[in-house]
Structure 1
Amino acid sequence: MSDYERIAKAIYFISTRVHSQPSLDEIAAHLHLSPFHFQRLFCRWAGVTPKRFLQVLTLERAKQLLRESKSLLEVSDTLGLSSGSRLYDHFVHLEAVTPGEYKKEGAGLSIGYAVHNTPFGPAFIAITPRGICKFSFLQGEALDEHLADLCKKWPYAVVHEEQQATLEVLDGMFGGAKKPDRPISLHVAGTNFQVSVWKALLQIPPATVVSYSQVANAIGSPNAARAVGTAIGSNPVAFLIPCHRVIQQSGKLGGYYWGETRKHAIHAWESAREEVLLPE
């Protein structure tokens, strides 16, 4: 079992027992680890203690974050993710395919792919010369399923395995040890509405959450919250297009295409790095 699988098991245990506030001993026993070894594992992965992580899961904290959320319209959609963030020492640039490129369905395009480990489990990544075109966390699916989905969206592209270049991109996403020398670029295909939603998501700072209706307001379609949810669900690039930062108006976490436990994990990971948790 990988570290992330152990952490995911712990997070699921904690998240289903928030109201009873499970002790360190109880969580460690669930994983068949000593309290000492579990605490060290959790701190190494999340950057915070299990006790502090419990604060991320409270409904009241989520509601507070929603109340504090600034209007996405205050940030120009040309800025991308803030380069001042301590989570990312870079920003994300999203470039959508043109209508002409969309019609070509990838003709003349080379796409490299690979599967790599990440802090949130194994993931499938595919890149074009212009950026990441697909990034998905694996949830037990065969590699063939992800390849088939990639080829369906880009049927005339030349698709090949590319371990080294994709690993370098992944280091820029999760490494944190060094600054990327250029923005991380995304090269995505979608409708005008989908692209507008994905660009709006890029304006949400790490360790911050917004509601579906706030995103709808930000793109000038206040009555389209449900359509916004559909566009978020079709996000082709997990994590970097941060659909995990959109939650229900009630403060509940809501669903997540790559699993609710993983959504909890990403929230904790980002919060730890942004130092927004309450003191113990």
Structure 2
Amino acid sequence: MTAEASSPDYQRIAQAIRYLEEHFRRQPSLEEVADAVSISPFHFQRLFSEWAGISPKRFVQYLTADFLKTRLAEAASLAAAADAAGLSAPSRLHDLFVTLEAVTPHEYRTGGAGVRIAYGVHQTPFGPALLAATPRGVCGLHLLAPDNPDATAALAALQKSWPGASFEPDDAITAPLVAQAFAPVAGQPLHLLVRGTNFQLKVWEALLRVPTGQLVSYQHIAQAIGQPKALQAVGSAVGANPIAVLIPCHRVIRKEGVLGEYRWGSATKKALIGYEMAQAERQAAQLA
């Protein structure tokens, strides 16, 4: 099972991010990165800026350890201010676009028996993705490798998570959901249906409260759910997130400013973080 069409632009973006990741210590020039992805420097600068809204140089600055640690410090300040105001989280902005529902105890025990799941592979700003949805909401969003958009393994993992459910391909159902996932519309929340333990649900709900362009540590999430010592369990729950982007596990990094692992690849995590920081910066500039 492959994507309907390749995404050569994002393939080159991902290749460039991987190249920058591998050679970050010597900070390669624009010309060198462009050569690594086999296009002219002018074309690469334009391509990257059109995708991210910022230059490649600015994008890389977002991903330095010092900058990331600054973002974590900001998150701690936001959390402290929220606590002082009697709020449960620094931001509920994401909740305007996403609502989260858990399966019933019976559905959890039976692996989703009786649940119908439609699925399809579609293009996104981050390459091809497999989206799966029930009549009650999106239950899976897996980002596929841009240079190998085969969804067979992703679908098998989804079926393993919902062994009692029935699956059928239906692009008519999944295409508009993908469009809404990557271009949310105010007043039209996207519903999610997840199958997980009570602990996982608490972690995933906490992730929904992390604003776009902001980062948190595993410690922040552990404290947010009232279990500050459960760092390993929090890490496992973050890694088990079945719905990429919409449940923003990519916004969790290590307290040292290290991005850490990501289920869908480190280059994709960097792309998501840099892209969202650029969005947040543009919105802040418009409001200033």
TM-score for the superposition, normalised by structure 2: 0.87
Instruction: Choose between structure 1 and 2: higher helix proportion.
Output: 2
What aligned pairs does 1:140-219 form with structure 2 within 5 A after superposition? 140=148, 142-175=150-183, 179=185, 181-219=187-225
Q: Secondary structure at the match of 1:206?
A: coil
Contact map agreement 1:113 1:160 (CA 8 A) in 2 = yes
Distance 1:255 1:278, change over 3 A: farther
* Counterpart selection for 2:144 from 134, 138, 141: 138
**Take 2:280 and 2:162, find their aligned partners in 1: how far apart are those partners?**
37
Counterpart of 2:251 (choices 233, 245, 252) is 245
Q: Does 1:18 align with 2:24?
A: yes
Over 3 Å counting, the alpha-carbon distance change for 1:124 and 1:255 in structure 2 is: same
Q: Which runs of 5 or more structure 1 residues have no equivalent in the other structure?
A: 84-89
d(CA) in 2 for partners of 1:2 and 1:230?
Answer: 33
Cα distance in 2 for partners of 1:210, 1:278 equals 19
Q: 1:151 offset after TM fit, Å?
A: 2.3
8 Å contact 1:15–1:57 — kept in the other structure? Answer: no
Q: What secondary structure does 1:133 align onto?
A: strand
Q: Which runs of 5+ in 2 are unaligned?
A: 1-6
1:41-80 equivalences in 2 (<5 Å) = 41-69=47-75, 70-71=78-79, 74=83, 75-76=87-88, 80=92
Look up the match of 1:113: 119
CA distance in structure 1 between the aligned counterparts of 2:161 and 2:113, rounded to whole angstroms: 11
The CA distance in 1 between the partners of 2:49 and 2:30, in whole Å, is 12
- Tell whether 2:213 aligns with 1:231: no
Q: Deviations over 1:79-138 (max 9, x none)?
A: 85446xxxxxx4211111121221232222211001111111111110001111011112
Over the matched positions of the two proteins, sequence identity in percent amounts to 47
Distance 2:44 2:149 in 1: 28
Structure 1 length as normaliser, TM-score?
0.89
Closer, same or farther: CA 80–113 of 1 in aligned 2, 3 Å: farther
Change (3 A) 1:159 1:82: closer
Alpha-carbon separation, structure 1, partners of 2:251 and 2:44: 27
| Corresponding residue of 2:228 | 222
Report the RMSD for the aligned CA atoms in angstroms. 2.3
**For 2:273 and 2:163, how far apart are their aligned partners in 1?**
35
Q: How has the CA–CA distance of structure 1 residues 233 and 82 changed in structure 2, closer, same or farther, with 3 Å as cutoff?
A: closer
Map of 2:10 onto structure 1: 4
Count of aligned pairs: 270
